[in-house]
Structure 1
Amino acid sequence: MTDLRIDRVETVLLDVPLRRPHRFARASMAAQPVLLVFVRTAGGVTGVGEGVVPGGPWWGGESVETMRLVVERYLTPVLLGRRVDDLAGIRRDLGDVVAANLYAKAAVEVALHDAWARCLGVPVHTLLGGVARRSVPVTWALGTEPAPVVVEEALGKLDAGLHRSFKLKMGALEPAEDVARVCAIAEKLAGVASVRVDLNARWDLLTSLTYLPKLADAGVELVEQPVPGPEIEALAEINRALPIPVMADESLRTPGDALRLARLRAADVYALKTTKSGGLRQTMAIAEIAAAAGIPCHGGTSIESPVGTAASLQLACASPAVTWGSELFGPLLMSEQLLTTPLRYADGELHLPDGPGLGVELDPAAVKAFTRT
């Protein structure tokens, strides 16, 4: 029997260049910082997890630098000597030492799952209840660039058979100008691709009620998080007013959030992210609440590397509730490969890898090349 006790925890910071700058409403990035957390057992098995946020601490309040500090100084002492399969006990004790910091905890929790599954010789989805599907559709996210630039990129993806749905970032321009830009894009893609928008919580209730119906009229199929995360009542009012689905992201971090959103019918779709929710178990709990409420789930992204993407894919393929596709495009946006065998994207979908744990193996040379000095 493999010794499951944890005898070492290590962290590595990477800066992975992107194929093109990725722009949000108030932030942009040309490289994605990534924190890798390695958990090794006394039996010689190592699991890896990832801490990552989309472009810095503006989204979730954490950065890879703060995650590393929290993991090394506060979480590692709790982990050493514990068994990797003691997930419930470890999660409880980590919560006693560190409040919130869900991104840092997610990196550790995914590494524990990877190590435990590798010790058993099974994929992570086995620990989550088994396979509900073998692949998930992948929506390609486009930035806040002018309409012609966005249309050209989208048509290129369509022509190559890579993606059939696109999400447009909004919030960088004045609302009327932004809506006109998106309507122009939706018109060009009408009948050939699904178009969705993400406001990243930049608008207020009145702005949303004024302008979002215009997007629905233009053929936009879904609106993601128009108002700030805590404003769930406003989100519910918008959801009642629109003829198209509203997706909750910033409003949805914990199972308690999922329950409150369901009670208010504040969102028609839930965006799941292992990163923002503290790991696989909490995210699965959110998906189960959604399923009980009849709310479909979408596999969201924090622009993860292949490690975090593989973790999200394992969850998306294990949860019956993830019927609204995914946005697990992070590795495609990165200009360099980190794995010995890349994740397989084909026919607009990301396919579940074979093998134990997360099903991926890091390329040591690539990790060394992008390690922050």
Structure 2
Amino acid sequence: MKIVDIRATTVAVPLEAPLRHSNGAHWGRFVRTIVEVETDNGLVGLGEMGGGGESAAAAFRGMLDYLAGHDPFQLEALHFKIANPTASLYNNRTQLLAALEFACLDLVGQHLGVPVYDLLGGKIRESVPFASYLFFRYQGEAVPEVRTPDQLVEQARALKKAHGFTVHKLKGGVFPPDYELECYRALAAAFPGDRLRYDPNAVLSMAEGLRFGKAIEGFDNDYLEDPVLGLEGLRLIRERVNVPLATNTVVVNFEQLAANVLRRGADVVLLDTTFWGGIRPCVKAAAVCETFQLGVAVHSSGELGIQLATMLHLGAVLPNLTYAADAHYHHLVDDIIQGGKLAYRDGRIAVPDGPGLGVRLDRQRLERYAELYRELGGYPYDRDPGRPGWYAQVPNERFADPEAGP
């Protein structure tokens, strides 16, 4: 089995509403690049990467010069062919590598007639638990805005009723920390017995991070995620706050993981199959975390069904996955895979059992959302459509006034 072609298609898949975050917003859609790797036996493996456009398509087309004739079974060689660590200062291809690794694992699984989880040691759970991902948001066509504590609680209540979530994560950094603390307290009061998380994307000052962390010590917290910038900042918060600290921003490779082991700032590492360069690096990282008693969770980077499948196969095989995974998935209105969106049941999503990743492209959906991308294009992730001219600072000194709106 040898690679003969690599194709990339950028799509824009609608969200229920624009979602706000500390750096800007998701402008009512996710822009993703769908990758198809074809082999000489007629199989097609699927991958996915965030962002897109002609530059992404050209990057993947360029990978064919490196990978034409490559055997998808040779996954270690794949890494060194296109993302040699010694060249990373000049040519960081980690996310390209991840999408291609997804596709190669999909190909190997299809070729052997087994799910990807069997290539990773076999599943130890049939489904993966997920947290609700709560956002302050603008009004959508069918959903109201979320700005006040009551609106946030109603969002969480609706998601819990629809999908069965018992863990709730608030994406913060949009409003002043004291106001978001009021919102967090409202969630704790509304859902006794459920667990909570808060993630302001590292835009709080040290004083704000300490004040927020101390204020939530009595709640049923999973963790406080990236309250301040940098591993050293997390370490200083961790020394003073009795809440586990988590990160998805400053431990995204093995060198950073080693630094966190030697001088711990984060208690929990959120593994992202894209940021780490594939599923297999995440499995390796999880083993290191298990050795040094670091917690492990699965991070969400705005995935569609292909990358979600990689998260599910990862979650299926990790013995030390003791936290519910993150996913933006329930904010999407559709997907590009056959059958549409994968379903939640009791706060969990079943691990696909078909060969490879266990998901296949719906060609009509793919073309529909490729056309939507051609119509709308991309958007600046680091800008907020409700605050023209605004840009994020760290620490974020230009929070919006919750009483005045955007």
Name 2:45's counterpart in structure 1. 47
Matched letter for residue 178 of structure 2? A
State the 4+ residue runs in structure 1 displaced beyond 6 angstroms.
Answer: none
Q: Does 1:136 align with 2:128?
A: yes
Give the letter aligned to residue 7 of structure 2: E
1:311-344 CA-to-partner distances (Å, cap 9, x unmatched) read: 11111111212121211342x2211232223424
Q: Contact 1:165/1:193 (CA < 8 Å) preserved in 2?
A: yes
2-side partners of 1:224 and 1:118: how far apart? 37
The Cα offsets for residues 202-244 of structure 1, whole Å up to 9 and x where unpaired, read as 123232123221122355442111122xx21221221232222
The one-character-per-residue Cα deviations of 1:268-310 (angstroms, maximum 9, x if unpaired) are 2110110111111221121111011112211111120011000
Partner of 2:161: 159
* Runs of at least 5 residues in structure 2 that lack an aligned partner in the other structure: 137-146, 375-406
Q: Say whether residues 1:182 and 2:179 are aligned partners.
A: no
CA distance, structure 1, for counterparts of residue 39 and residue 82 of structure 2: 18
- Write out aligned runs for 1:8-27 (5 A): 8-27=5-24
Q: How does 1:187-266 map to 2 (within 5 A)?
A: 187-189=189-191, 191-228=192-229, 231-266=230-265
Counterpart position of 1:294: 293
- SS of 2:217's equivalent in the other structure is helix
Deviation at 1:161, TM superposition (A): 5.1
CA displacement, residues 159-201 of structure 1 (integer Å, 9 cap, x when unaligned): 3452111100111122223323322332233x14222111111
1:266 offset after TM fit, Å? 1.6
Give matches, 1:1-373, under 5 Å. Answer: 4-29=1-26, 30-52=28-50, 63-65=51-53, 66-73=55-62, 75-96=63-84, 99-144=91-136, 145-160=147-162, 162-189=164-191, 191-228=192-229, 231-330=230-329, 332-341=330-339, 342-371=341-370, 372-373=373-374
Letter paired with 1:110: F
Task: Identify if the C-alpha distance between structure 1 residues 156 and 48 changes in structure 2 by more than 3 Å, giving closer, same or farther.
Answer: same
Q: 1:57 aligns to what?
A: none
Report the AA paired with residue 213 of structure 2: L
1:237-265 CA distance string (max 9 Å, x none): 21232222111110111122222212222
Partners of 2:132 and 2:160 within 8 A in 1: no
Measure the CA separation in 2 of the matches of 1:171 and 1:267: 19
Are residues 136 and 127 of structure 1, via their aligned partners in 2, closer, same or farther at CA, if it must alter by over 3 Å?
Answer: same
Conserved 8 A contact 1:67-1:101? no
Of all paired residues, the percent bearing the same amino acid is: 25
Structure 1 residues 297, 218: closer, same or farther in 2, change over 3 A? closer
Corresponding residue SS for 1:284: helix
SS in structure 2 at match of 1:308: helix
SS class of match (1:217):
coil
* Equivalent residue number for residue 56 of structure 1: none
Is residue 83–residue 94 contact of structure 2 (8 Å, CA) maintained in 1? no
Instruction: Indicate conservation of the 8 Å contact 1:344/1:353, yes or no.
Output: no
The one-letter code matched in structure 1 to 2:101 is: E
Does the 8 Å contact 2:231/2:266 carry over to 1? Answer: no
Query: Aligned to 1:8, what secondary structure does the other structure show?
Result: strand
What SS is found at the alignment partner of 2:156?
helix
TM-score (norm 1): 0.90
Label 1:152 to 1:112 Cα distance change in 2 as closer, same or farther (>3 A): same
State the distance in 1 between where 2:36 and 2:5 align: 8
Matches of 1:289 and 1:328, distance apart in 2: 24
Name structure 1 gaps, 5 residues minimum. 53-62
Partners of 1:187 and 1:218 within 8 A in 2: no
Q: Alpha carbons of 1:219 and 1:281: their partners in 2 closer, same or farther (altered >3 Å)? A: closer
The count of aligned residue pairs is 355
Does structure 1 retain, via aligned residues, the 8 Å contact 2:130–2:327? Answer: yes
Structure 1 67/277 Cα, relative in aligned 2: closer, same or farther at 3 Å? farther
Tell me which moved more, 217-226 or 317-326: 217-226
TM-score with structure 2 setting the length = 0.83
* Alignment check: 8 A CA contact 2:167 2:324 kept: no
Three-state SS of the structure 2 residue aligned to 1:155 is helix
Residues 221/81 of structure 1: CA separation in 2 closer, same or farther (3 Å cut) = closer
Q: Secondary structure at the match of 1:166?
A: strand
User: Given the superposition, is the C-alpha separation of residues 77 and 173 from structure 1 closer, same or farther in structure 2, using an over 3 Å criterion?
Assistant: same
Deviation of 1:365 after TM superposition, in Å, equals 0.8
**SS at structure 2 position matched to 1:19:** coil
